Structure 1
Amino acid sequence: MLRNDRDALSGIRGGTANEIAESLRERMERGLLGAGDALPPVRALAEALDVNRNTVMAAYRQLAQAGLVVSRGRAGTHVTGPATVAQDGFAADTVLRDVGTGNPDPARIPDPTSALTRIVGRPVLYGEPVIDRDLEAWADEWMRAALPPEKPMRLTITSGASDAIDRLLSTYLTRDDGVALEDPCFLASLNTVRLGGYRAVPVPVDDEGMTVDGLRAALADGVRAVVCTPRAQNPTGASITERRAEQLRAELAAHPYVLVIEDDHFSLLSRMPHASVIPSDHERWALVRSVSKFLGPDMCLAVTASDPETGSRLAQRLSPGTTWVSHLLQRLTHALVTDPEVRSGIEAAAVHYAERNAAFAEALRSEGLTVSTGDGLNLWVRLPSPARDVCGQLMRRGWLARPGDEFLLSDDAARFHLRLTVHDLTETDAASLRRDLLAAVEATVGTRTVG
Structure 2
Amino acid sequence: MPAQYQVTGDNAAEISASIESGVMRGDFVWGSPLPAIRALAGDLSVSPATVAKAYQELRRRGVIEADGRKGTRVRSRPPIATERSLMRLPVPEGVLDLSSGEPDVRVLPSISSALRRIADDTGPPQGYASAIAMPELIDIARPRLAADGVPMENAAIAATSGTLDAIERLLTAHLRPGDAVAVEDPGWANLLDLLAALDLRAFPVTIDQEGPHPESLAAALHSGARAFVVTVRAQNPTGAAVSAARAAQLRGVLSVKPEVLLIEDDHAAELAGAPLHCLGPVTESWAFIRSASKPFGPDLRIAVVAGDETTIARVVGRMRLGTGWVSTVLQRLLVCLWLDEEVTSLVRHAAAGYARRRELLREAFRERGLAVEGATGINAWVRVPDETRAVGLLRDAGYAVAPGSLFRISTPPGVRITISPLDESSIPALADAVATATGPPGLTTPSR
User: Structure 1 length as normaliser, TM-score?
Assistant: 0.82
Tell me the amino acid that sits aligned with residue 102 of structure 1.
G
- In structure 2, relative to structure 1, the CA distance for the partners of 1:162 and 1:241 (3 Å cut) is same
Larger deviation, residues 118-127 vs 198-207: 118-127
Matching of residue 148 in structure 1 with residue 142 in structure 2: no
Percent identity of the aligned residues? 36
> Shift of the alpha carbon at 1:404?
1.9
> Are the counterparts in 2 of residues 62 and 197 from structure 1 also a CA contact under 8 Å?
no
Q: State the secondary structure of the residue aligned to 2:252.
A: helix
> Are the counterparts in 1 of residues 77 and 190 from structure 2 also a CA contact under 8 Å?
no
CA distance in 2, matches of 1:372, 1:350: 18
* Counterpart residue number, 1:389: 389
* Counterpart residue number, 1:71: 66
Matching of residue 400 in structure 1 with residue 400 in structure 2: yes
Residues 241-275 of structure 1: per-residue CA shift (max 9 Å, x gap): 11111111111111112110000112212222211
Tell me the amino acid that sits aligned with residue 425 of structure 1.
L
* Counterpart residue number, 1:342: 343
CA distance in 1, matches of 2:232, 2:72: 36
> Shift of the alpha carbon at 1:91?
4.5
Residues 122-177 of structure 1: per-residue CA shift (max 9 Å, x gap): 33233333212211211121233433354x21101000000000111010111111
Matching of residue 194 in structure 1 with residue 205 in structure 2: no
CA distance in 2, matches of 1:88, 1:374: 25
- In structure 2, relative to structure 1, the CA distance for the partners of 1:267 and 1:382 (3 Å cut) is same
* Counterpart residue number, 1:283: 284
- In structure 2, relative to structure 1, the CA distance for the partners of 1:204 and 1:65 (3 Å cut) is farther
> Shift of the alpha carbon at 1:322?
4.3
Matching of residue 259 in structure 1 with residue 254 in structure 2: no
Tell me the amino acid that sits aligned with residue 147 of structure 1.
V
Q: Which runs of 4+ in 1 moved over 4 A?
A: 7-10, 22-31, 37-41, 56-62, 72-78, 84-95, 445-448
CA distance in 1, matches of 2:322, 2:171: 23
Residues 331-376 of structure 1: per-residue CA shift (max 9 Å, x gap): 1111011101111111111111011111121011111111123100
Q: Residues 189-228 of structure 1: matches in 2 within 5 Å? A: 189-228=191-230
Q: State the secondary structure of the residue aligned to 2:320.
A: coil
CA distance in 2, matches of 1:95, 1:123: 49
> Are the counterparts in 2 of residues 90 and 101 from structure 1 also a CA contact under 8 Å?
no
CA distance in 1, matches of 2:11, 2:399: 48
Tell me the amino acid that sits aligned with residue 99 of structure 1.
L
CA distance in 2, matches of 1:76, 1:402: 21
Corresponding residue to 1:123 among 117, 122, 125: 125
CA distance in 2, matches of 1:77, 1:257: 34
* Counterpart residue number, 1:299: 300
Tell me the amino acid that sits aligned with residue 98 of structure 2.
V
Matching of residue 436 in structure 1 with residue 433 in structure 2: yes
Q: State the secondary structure of the residue aligned to 1:225.
A: strand
CA distance in 1, matches of 2:318, 2:140: 23
* Counterpart residue number, 2:42: none
Q: State the secondary structure of the residue aligned to 2:382.
A: strand
Q: State the secondary structure of the residue aligned to 2:157.
A: strand
CA distance in 2, matches of 1:69, 1:387: 20
Q: Residues 26-425 of structure 1: matches in 2 within 5 Å? A: 36-39=34-37, 63-64=58-59, 66-71=61-66, 80=74, 83-84=77-78, 91=90, 95-120=94-119, 121=122, 122-145=124-147, 146-148=149-151, 150=153, 152-280=154-282, 282-319=283-320, 322-383=323-384, 385-411=385-411, 413=412, 415=413, 417-425=414-422
- In structure 2, relative to structure 1, the CA distance for the partners of 1:94 and 1:159 (3 Å cut) is farther
> Are the counterparts in 1 of residues 357 and 424 from structure 2 also a CA contact under 8 Å?
no
CA distance in 2, matches of 1:149, 1:75: 47
> Are the counterparts in 2 of residues 66 and 82 from structure 1 also a CA contact under 8 Å?
no
* Counterpart residue number, 1:44: none
> Shift of the alpha carbon at 1:307?
0.6
Tell me the amino acid that sits aligned with residue 186 of structure 1.
W
Q: State the secondary structure of the residue aligned to 2:438.
A: helix
Larger deviation, residues 184-193 vs 394-403: 394-403
* Counterpart residue number, 2:43: none
> Are the counterparts in 2 of residues 381 and 418 from structure 1 also a CA contact under 8 Å?
yes
Tell me the amino acid that sits aligned with residue 83 of structure 1.
R
Tell me the amino acid that sits aligned with residue 402 of structure 2.
R
> Are the counterparts in 2 of residues 166 and 192 from structure 1 also a CA contact under 8 Å?
yes
Q: State the secondary structure of the residue aligned to 1:319.
A: helix
CA distance in 1, matches of 2:274, 2:377: 10
> Shift of the alpha carbon at 1:321?
9.8
> Are the counterparts in 1 of residues 132 and 324 from structure 2 also a CA contact under 8 Å?
no
> Shift of the alpha carbon at 1:63?
3.6
CA distance in 2, matches of 1:199, 1:335: 40
Residues 405-448 of structure 1: per-residue CA shift (max 9 Å, x gap): 2210111x1x1x22112343234433332333333334636599
> Are the counterparts in 2 of residues 96 and 400 from structure 1 also a CA contact under 8 Å?
yes
Provide the alpha-carbon RMSD of the alignment: 3.5
CA distance in 1, matches of 2:260, 2:54: 25
CA distance in 1, matches of 2:97, 2:8: 42
> Are the counterparts in 1 of residues 9 and 15 from structure 2 also a CA contact under 8 Å?
no
Residues 16-36 of structure 1: per-residue CA shift (max 9 Å, x gap): xxxxxx8975675688xx973
Larger deviation, residues 162-171 vs 424-433: 424-433
> Shift of the alpha carbon at 1:302?
0.2
